[in-house]
A and B are shown apart, each in its own frame.
Chain A
Amino acid sequence: MSSALGYGFVLGGLACAAFGAVVGITSGMMQKDGGYPWVRRAVWGFFACMLLANLTMVYALVTHDFSVSYVAHVGSRATPLAFTIVSLWSALEGSILFWGAIMGSYVLAFALAHRRESPRQMQLALGTMMAVGIFFAFLIAGPANPFEAVFPVPPDGPGPNPLLQNDVLMIVHPPLLYLGYVGMVVPFGVAVAALLKGEFSPSWMAPLRRWTLIAWTFLTAGIIVGGWWAYKVLGWGGFWSWDPVENASFLPWLTTSAFIHSTMVHERKGMLKVWTLALALASFVLTILGTFMTRSGIFNSVHAFSQSDIGPTFLIFIALLIVFCFALLTTRAHLLTDERKIDAPVSRETAILVNNLLLVALTFTVLIGTLFPLISEAVRNVRVSVGEPYFNRMAVPGFIAVVFLMGVGPALPWGRPDGASLRKQLLAPTVAGVLTAIVCVGWGLRGLWPIVTFAVAGFAAVVTLRELFLPAVVRMKEHHENALLAFVRSAQKARRRFGGYVVHLGIIMVAVAVAASSGYSQRTARNLKLDEPTQFGRYELILRGFTNGEEPHRTFVAAKVEVKNPSGSVTEMLPRVNYYERSTDPIGTPALLSSAREDLYLSLLTFSAEAGTASLNLFIFPLVGWIWFGIPVIVLGALIAAWPPRRRSAESSLPAKAPASSDPPKQAERGAA
């Protein structure tokens, strides 16, 4: 029953997408407005079908309807309700179905938010998005169909992967990442519409940037939450290992970050137009590539991959996309000419251009490292992987340079700077950076890269904080406002800029935390004996015994480790090993003692209750918690920047105009600085 119903909705979605794409693109290209209402109806239809298909699947999962193939694959009666619902995105077919629902919501939200825009451009944009919808609906209807009928109906299923049932973060991480991935559909549609029409009206810049920023924010949060999950659950003592699946999410992050910056040059100076659109297209292609890499299982083995239909379907789609994007860019590029050129080698626009080139270079190196094993296996039939040192060696200097530019860019004015004010601008941050390095060395820290990171972060932080607070200080003097009011008003006056700097602050925080936690981590393996204290770092550890327990879907054994802090307080930590009813292998859960300064991380490997011994991996990660604390800062900044401007009247619903108007005061404030 659920099978037929769900499949019906998927086919409905496919029909709506096909209809919307054909009507939208043809009538948009023919410069007619008549098709617009129909395209909008198709968008509604696609959204409704995808949502209903997902609800049908959730219903089937919750009611344990094992006649539906996906439920038979991931469901189990023993799984708690929350994890049963979450198993919607715990395996391939379900996650692509979920993709469809998110995509439907995004396209609908876009259609509603911009319903009063020029119908021709909207038709093209929505038509393009619906064309992407065809692909995903087709994928769900065909190669990745989760609604296949199973006969005979099994009495119970295996349940989702135990690793995915281990932590709440796993409930949050995939949807965030999907919201980030799928969100790129909207900028892609807008960019393609602009290229198809061969003109790019400035009024589209703000929506393009805003939708990209929304996707970027989800992607950023998703990536960091993913790292957090790996850190808390996997127990190998790290949050990032340059795994292809991680890289898959990182690649579009790099290009969207570049895009968000290049739009500023585009908007202010009328430069880098083609480049900006190319970045929007590339980001979308990379999200599709990312979905393909994470979901086709190609990284387990190229040979296993060809046994399913999903991989080839994806590959064909990616190939079509790349050809289409190239064709579009080469045939339409001459219509988008830059209005100005870069005047001075030292200016805001040059800094942003260098930042863009750096981010693209990083994308390129990470992409090569990620795809190389596939090429090697496909072409030479040699199974290799690219080791972490490659990525670290290539990416770390690049990232430090990006953080450095985060300080340089905002300190430079647009256009042509004069030497004296430039020196004045850069003096204090440079001193701060050098002082940071000296203090670090004086404090006994060693190692080139972390110290360089701290110095550069100090430099960038001073610039960022100055940009955040200086306008308020100026207001306090000129308008005689109190500090808080001046701060809020100055933020309101240039919200995008203000939000951007808050994001920068978050990124600097994450950069410092990553450098500290990976540069100065301590690791050791110890065999603890009952009641015998061991010293590790500033902590004293004593094994006090074992405890076991039962949870609905698993049983566990935990080592009771008493930890004495340097401050004298005593905490009990319970690193444990979990046994899932239906899984043959036990899975550990590390125990954490977190503080602002560092995390003590215990991972239980083996134990013997009889002998009273437990072998653990012990880690200390300085400042690691600040990586996760970076999420709210970054999200807050992005929200400030992306929040639609207050509408002054009902007519001025064009969101494009308002943010632009907040820019001119910048020069004045800059001058005042």
Chain B
Amino acid sequence: MTPKARNRLVAVAALLVAGGGLAFLALGNLGANLVYYWTPGEMLSHGDQAYGPTIRLGGVVVPGTIHWDAVKTDLEFVIADSHAPGAKNVVVHAREIPPQMFRDGIGVVVEGTFSKTQRFESNRLMVNHSNEYRAPKPGEKPNLDTLQDPTAASARSP
């Protein structure tokens, strides 16, 4: 083997090892940091698998379940698959201030983890705004109540 060919071989081998190592590292890290997009029902159907990984749970706030302690910034509510009565639901606990438009029945996405105590510990709460801007549909009232009375939409204290 000529020195030139050997050098080339070494370079190719080094690149392959580096590339392989990088891919291994990337995919390993990727697998450990996946965030699953589930509804409460989907999450519950995954059983034990649901304990541990980061989950982005999307659903609607069940009316009358919001408990907000402003002093301790402690928020608890129930999130369900849909507005239908009897839809699968999960208790969510968060230690952050709900945004102004957070209210009964609104669509929310919470990110966090699910534990065996059947409580979802959220560290991020997002109210579903439609990403694409949408004009109020015919017959749908724009949130004038929040406009006129700013207190109407704020989360109530228990």
Contact = CB atoms under 8 A, between A and B. Distances in A.
A527 B71 contact: yes
Contact of B147 (A158, A160, A579): A579
A606 B154 contact: yes
A364 interface: yes
Contact of B143 (A369, A384, A586): A586
B101 A527 contact: no
A528 to B, nearest CB: 10
Contacts of A606: 97-100, 102, 153-155
A390 interface: yes
B73 interface: yes
A357 B151 contact: no
Given A388-B33, A584-B142, A606-B98, 15 more contacts: A158-B134, A160-B133, A364-B22, A364-B26, A383-B37, A384-B34, A384-B35, A389-B32, A394-B29, A579-B147, A584-B140, A585-B143, A588-B100, A606-B100, A613-B70
Per DSSP, chain A at the interface is mixed
A439 interface: no
A246 to B, nearest CB: 15
B91 interface: no
B133 A577 contact: no
A222 B155 CA distance: 38
Nearest to B72: A527
A616 B73 CA distance: 11
B118 interface: no
B1 interface: no
Interface in A141-190: 158-162
A390 B26 CA distance: 8
* A162, A386, A613, A615 interface centre (most CB from chain B within 10 Å): A615
Contact of A385 (B56, B96, B146): B56
A68 B27 CA distance: 47
Contact of A610 (B25, B26, B33, B151): B151
A385 B97 contact: no
A525 B97 contact: yes
B114 to A, nearest CB: 15
Interface string A595-637: 0000000001111111101011100000000000000000000
B35 A527 contact: no
Given A385-B35, A387-B35, A579-B147, A586 B97 contact: no
B98 A605 contact: yes
Nearest to A583: B133
Contacts, number: 127
A118 interface: no
A384 B36 contact: yes
B74 to A, nearest CB: 10
Given A384-B34, A606-B155, A608-B154, A577 B143 contact: no
Interface string A246-279: 0000000000000000000000000000000000
Contact of A369 (B22, B30, B96, B135): B30
Interface string B31-73: 0111111000000000000000010100000000000001101
Interface string B7-32: 00000000000100010011101101
B105 to A, nearest CB: 13
Given A160-B133, A584-B143, A605 B34 contact: no
A372 interface: yes
B119 interface: no
Contacts of A386: 30, 33-35
B154 A586 contact: no
15 contacts: A365-B22, A365-B26, A368-B27, A387-B35, A389-B33, A525-B73, A527-B73, A582-B136, A584-B142, A585-B129, A585-B130, A586-B146, A607-B100, A608-B154, A615-B97
Interface in B122-158: 127, 129-136, 140, 142-143, 146-147, 150-151, 153-155
A525 B100 contact: no
A551 to B, nearest CB: 14
Nearest to A364: B22
Nearest to A546: B150
A357 B99 contact: no
A581 B136 CA distance: 10
A575 B78 CA distance: 29
A372 B142 contact: no
Interface residues on B, range: 35 or more
Contacts of B99: 588, 605-606
Interface of A: 158-162, 297, 300, 357, 361, 364-365, 368-369, 372, 382-390, 393-394, 525-527, 546, 555, 557, 577, 579, 581-588, 604-611, 613, 615-617
A524 B146 CA distance: 26
Nearest to B111: A387
Interface string B67-95: 00011010000000000000000000001
A289 B65 CA distance: 44
Nearest to A382: B36
B33 A387 contact: yes
Contacts of B151: 607-611
Nearest to B26: A365
A546 B151 CA distance: 12
B27 to A, nearest CB: 8
A383 B36 contact: yes
Given A364-B26, A608-B151, A582 B135 contact: yes
Contacts of B146: 579, 586
Contacts of A608: 150-151, 154
Nearest to B70: A527
Contacts of A582: 135-136, 142
A555 B148 CA distance: 10
A394 B133 contact: no
Contacts of B70: 527, 613, 615
B73 A394 contact: no
B58 to A, nearest CB: 10
Contacts of A388: 33
Contacts of B96: 525, 617
B109 to A, nearest CB: 11
B55 to A, nearest CB: 10
Nearest to A157: B135
B73 A385 contact: no
A546 B150 CA distance: 11
A297 B153 CA distance: 31
B91 to A, nearest CB: 20
A384 B37 contact: yes
A605 B25 contact: no
B95 to A, nearest CB: 8
Contacts of B136: 582, 584
Nearest to A376: B34
B26 A586 contact: no
Contacts of B36: 382-384
A605 B143 contact: no
A102 to B, nearest CB: 24
Contacts of A615: 70, 73, 97
Given A357-B18, A527-B71, A390 B33 contact: yes
Contacts of A581: 142
Given A365-B22, A385-B56, A607 B133 contact: no
